[in-house]
Each structure stands twice: as C-alpha cells, then as structure tokens.
Amino acid sequence: MSDNGRSAHPLTVLGLIGSEREMGRQHGQLSREVGGWEAAVEFYGGMPARILGAGRRDRGRTLIVKALQPLLKAGLARLDRARPAHLRARTEAFMAALGRPASDRHNVFVLDVAQNAVGVLARCGLMHDVQRLAAPGACSSFACWGEASSDGRLLHGRNFDLPGIGIWERAPTVVFCRPTDAASLRYGFIATRGADVPGVTAFNETGIVVSAHTRFHRNVTFDGLGVVDLGHLIASRATSLADAVAIASEQRIASSWGIVVSSARERRALVIETHAGRIAVHRPRPGASHLVATNRNRVAVMQPGEIAPSPAWVRYSDGREAAMERRLAGATGLPSDGSQGRYGGLDGNGSQGRYGGLASDGSQGRYGGLDVADAMALLSSHEAGDVPGWERSTGDCLAQSITVQSVVVDAERQAVWVSVGEAPTSKGPWICVPWHWDHGAAEAQVIEAPPRIEVPESARDAAYRAYVEAARLEGHFGTEASVEAAIARALALQPADPSYRHLAGGLALRAGRPDDALAHFEVALTTERSSFRTGELHRWAHQAATWTGQKGRAREHRQTLLANDEPALAEAKAAVDKPLTRRRHREIGIDFQLLTLST
C-alpha cells in the first residue's frame, strides 16, 4: 500500500539538560510553547477504559470497567509511590509546567495498570471477563546484525501499537536528554507531544536501544517498578546488554513485559521478560544474527501463569513474530512487493542525501541483509503470519491500524528514523534525526512534514484508509452507523477482501441483521486463506444461518468447522452449538486488530 499522498505531520525535536526534575520541567515548558500536547494528556487519563473496553459495546463491559475504576485508580497511586524519587520528581515537574493537576502524573502507569487488571481478573478465575476486556497486546520489534544486516551493523526496528489512532501519531517527538548527573548517560526517546515517557522506546549514547512490549501474566503487583521507569533506568545507565539485565534484576517489576534491548557496540540483542515474581532473558538462537519480539513469553520459566486472552490473540502475536522471522532468518533482504521502492528518498524531503545515504551505502551486496529501507518495509508489511507470501488487511500482520509510532534506530551511525505519517505509521513518510546532545540549554526544533506527493489513490489504498477510519471510530466508541459506513466504503472498493467482509459480518450480526451477516461471512470464505480464520468464519456463519432458520446452510457450516483440524479452533468448536439469542447478539465483541468476534 503506497505512502504517496498520505498525510504527514511535523516532527518535534527537543533538547533537555539538567537533573531529571529540571528536564521534566523543560519538557513541559517546551511542549507548551510548541503546542499540540493537550490531546495526549487527556487521552492518557481515559486510556484504561479504552484498553479494557476494546471491541466491546455491551452493558456488561461497561459495568465491569466501572467496577474496576477504584482498582485502576488505587493501582496508579500505588505505582506512583513505588517510583524512584528522581523519576517521580521529573513527572511532577513535567505536569506542573503544563499546568496540569499533580495527580495526572499517575497516568504514566496506565499500561501497567491495564495489564495488571487483566492479571487480577485471571487470578480470580474470571477468564470470561478477561476475554471480554483485554485489548490486543500489540507492538513488534526486531534487531538484526551481521549476516541479517546489509553491512553487518545493527539495526533496531519497532512498531508501537496503541489504541490511540488520531492522537499519538499526529505529534511525533524525539527528545534528547543530557543529564548533568555524572552517573547518568546521555539518552533519547521517541514519544508524542504531551507524553514524558522515556522508557517505552529509547536509546543512549553508547548504542543501547530499548523497546517495551505488552505481556499478560497472573503474577503482577501494584507495588513495583513501572515499565516507563524500567526502560528509563536502562536507557540512562546501561552501557551493555549485561548492564541492562543487571538493572532489571535489581528491581521488582510491577507488570509483565518483554523489553527488547539491543547493543550496537556488541552487535547483539536480547529480550528481558518480566513479571512481579522474576525476570528471565530470551536470547537469539545459536548462530542467529537477529532477534524478534511481539507479545508472548519465550523463556519456559516465564510461561506458567501467562495469560492468553483468546486463541485469536495467540495467532495475532505469534503470526507477527513468524512474519519477521521468515524475512530475517533468510538474511537475503525482503521479498520484492514494491514496498522498498515506494520510499524513494526515505523521508520524502531529500534527507537521504543530506545525511550521507544512511539507508543505502552500496554494501547490501556484501551480505544481502536488511538496510534501513528494508527495515521500514518490514515494519509496514501486511504478510499474513500463517500464510507466507499472502497479504491481509488486518489480523496477524505487522502494519496495524493502531500502529501509531514506527522507528528504525541505526545506533552505529547515531541516527533514528521516525515515521511522521498517519496510522499505520510504518507506511511513512520518514524523517531521519541524527543524535545530538551538544545543546547547552533547553531547545526545541520543529521539522516540517515532507511535502505531500499528490498521486491518484489506488482502490486498495482508499479501501484501507476507510478501514483505518472504521477502526478509529470503533476504538473511540463512535456510533455504530458511522463504523458500518466506513467499512461499507472499504467493501465498495475491495468487495472480495476477506478481512473487511469478516468485520462487516460481525457488525451486521451485532446490529441484528443475520441475513446480511451470513452473506458477508460466505463471501469472505471464498477468499480467506488462513485455516484458523476460515474456521472462525464458519462458526459465525453457522450462528447467522441458525438465527435465520436456514438449517441446511447452518449444518454445512457447522460440519466444515468441526472437520477443520486447526488446534486453535477448539474453543470455537466447543461454542458452536451455543445459540446466539436476540439479547446476546448485542454483546458481540468485534476486534478490528485481532480480526475476531466474541461474546
């Protein structure tokens, strides 16, 4: 899907200097001067409800989220009390400089609290409520070096997936921090205006790069270190992978995370897997020159107690991991699908030449691995995780409608590439920001977005844009009519797309139109190539046909589902004979990322 004609946004680059408290204050002051920070701050306050309510509109979900509010609020306050004093001081100063209430500093832990809420529910045996509430843990990262890299140097790519379409990606920001504390390293992080979160996606002067990924686990606490602070400590203190592991080992971590850490000096990477009881380290396979991570633990001792909200979530996480593995393990560059050429000058404003050809220096032939342009193309891939070579609009693919930040860090050349496009941001356009910590005072620079290249939009691109709008509306609880209208626009342009048909069928079923739903599901079955999602379509087609009294068609769909030997369909088979009553159809959850329906 082309990036030509995509909207883009200015990139803010900030330089901070001083103690953590002083840098927090400077960040707040500069954000106020630049403007456009309010949406992110307001979004953070309501994020737990959005995360826990993803894909649901029923009254039961609303009641559960309301019942959880005291837990969420208390959890935020407890995590704040457990913070290192200098990091709490930073957030306090940031919020004060923005003129926000002091309690807003608690919202930096919304992701920890949302994950912990899922863990607590599961610990209490309320797995049905977990399935009802848990948003898809997303985000994808990879690191490649040696034979998997075009010239042997290490590259670290990262998609940050968050249910904040229309907010996070519209104010991309790179922040360079120059601590005056002699014990701290110079470090940087990538966020959005209004978010002082140095530990989510970060790097430091020694070539350490950090990216955090959601995991779900029963072993969680509200009296430990939050992920923003864990990543912050690694970025500001670690000079090696061993340092990063030691820093994580010193702490009791509040929630379950996969922290990808790469080292340009060592040309190596690892994943620190955490929960409240312990940490463990996932390392590359012997002889491998790459590492990938999504949202499931890979170290055996971390897997007992891990929560898989649904079979679709497992496929979603493992599928993205498989897609990255396929492309990186071959160390021969990306398959040609037209995506590499679409970047041209990479950032769209001529900076490829300005920075000395960071993306291509003629060395690709040496190893045949990824260069920066290939890394960008990998992050924007739509290849299905379980159907090699086939692209899908949503589900287990790397580019998601909720991909609100995409980054490629070339630490050996001291540069970070940041997408400034609309979600999914991995489609660009991109801007390169060289590392710099030579500022003697706080400073702000706004780099204008690359000029938009007006070209005719293909039907495929227009359909995908309509789908992203539908996902945005669903995620922000827009009207059901507006969501259906957006999906209808996508289908008018791509009527055979199985993902759009799958979603349209779910929307029609939720709205009480089983005949329309059945028609959509059966069209989707003619082009869907995933064994798992084919089974899911037969499950819901059976429900729709049963509702309309078409017993013969219902029986055919049921028999086909039961004959499908896909292991992940066990839950669907067990539920196939549970009737979908007129009351229960309003409780159908529709997940635009996992591409699944649930009750």
Burial of 36 (0-12, 13-18, 19+ CB in 10 A): middle
pLDDT tens digits, one per residue of 420-467: 999 999 999 999 999 999 999 999 999 998 887 777 889 999 999 999
- Count the Cβ atoms, other than its own, within 10 Å of residue 362: 10
b/e sequence 140-177, b meaning 16+ C-beta within 10 Å: bbbbbbbbbbbbbbbbbbbbbbbbbbbbbbbbbbbbbb
Beta strand 140-146 with 187-192 is unpaired
Which two structure tokens, joined as six digits, stand for 591?
């997940």
Q: State residue 45's pLDDT score.
A: 72
pLDDT tens digits, one per residue of 187-204: 999 999 999 999 999 999
- What is the Cα–Cα distance from 163 to 167, expressed in whole angstroms? 9
Higher-confidence residue: 122 or 477?
122
Q: Is the pLDDT of residue 208 over 70?
A: yes
Q: State residue 218's pLDDT score.
A: 96
- CA-closest candidate to residue 382, choices 144, 576, 159: 159
The mean pLDDT value for 43-72 works out to: 65
Q: State residue 136's pLDDT score.
A: 65
Which amino acid would we find at residue 506?
Answer: G
Could you tell me the maximum CA-CA distance found in the chain, to the nearest angstrom?
A: 76
Provide the phi-psi class of 317: left if phi over 0, else alpha when psi is between -120 and 50, else beta. alpha
* Radius of gyration from C-alpha coordinates of the chain: 23
Q: Alpha carbon 126 to chain centroid distance?
A: 26
Domains of the chain, each with CATH number or no CATH: 137-166+199-435 (3.60.60.10), 462-598 (1.25.40.10)
Q: Is the pLDDT of residue 1 over 70?
A: no
Q: State residue 335's pLDDT score.
A: 38
**What angle, rounded to 10 degrees, do the helices at 531-547 and 551-563 form?**
160
pLDDT tens digits, one per residue of 499-555: 999 999 999 999 999 999 999 999 999 999 999 999 999 999 999 999 999 999 999
Q: State residue 540's pLDDT score.
A: 97
The mean pLDDT value for 487-492 works out to: 98
In which residue are the tokens 């950090």 written? 210
The mean pLDDT value for 558-563 works out to: 97
pLDDT tens digits, one per residue of 348-377: 332 322 222 233 333 333 346 999 999 999
Q: State residue 162's pLDDT score.
A: 86
Q: State residue 131's pLDDT score.
A: 65
Q: Among 63-77, 229-243, 444-458, where is mean pLDDT lowest?
A: 63-77
- What is the Cα–Cα distance from 219 to 97, expressed in whole angstroms? 36
pLDDT tens digits, one per residue of 393-407: 999 999 999 999 999
- What is the Cα–Cα distance from 283 to 298, expressed in whole angstroms? 9
The mean pLDDT value for 17-21 works out to: 98
Q: Is the pLDDT of residue 89 over 90?
A: yes
Q: Is the pLDDT of residue 338 over 60?
A: no
Strand positions, DSSP E, 448-499:
none
Phi and psi for 348 in degrees, rounded to 5?
Answer: 80, 0
Higher-confidence residue: 295 or 136?
295
Q: State residue 457's pLDDT score.
A: 85
- What is the Cα–Cα distance from 544 to 317, expressed in whole angstroms? 28
- Which pTM was predicted? 0.91
pLDDT tens digits, one per residue of 294-325: 999 999 999 999 999 889 999 999 999 999 99
Q: pLDDT averaged over the chain?
A: 88
pLDDT tens digits, one per residue of 571-599: 999 999 988 776 778 878 899 999 999 87
pLDDT tens digits, one per residue of 290-299: 999 999 999 9
Q: Is the pLDDT of residue 211 over 50?
A: yes
Cβ neighbours of residue 552 under 8 Å, at least 6 residues apart?
none
Q: State residue 364's pLDDT score.
A: 34
- Count the Cβ atoms, other than its own, within 10 Å of residue 243: 16
Burial of 125 (0-12, 13-18, 19+ CB in 10 A): exposed
Beta strand 443-447 with 430-434 is unpaired
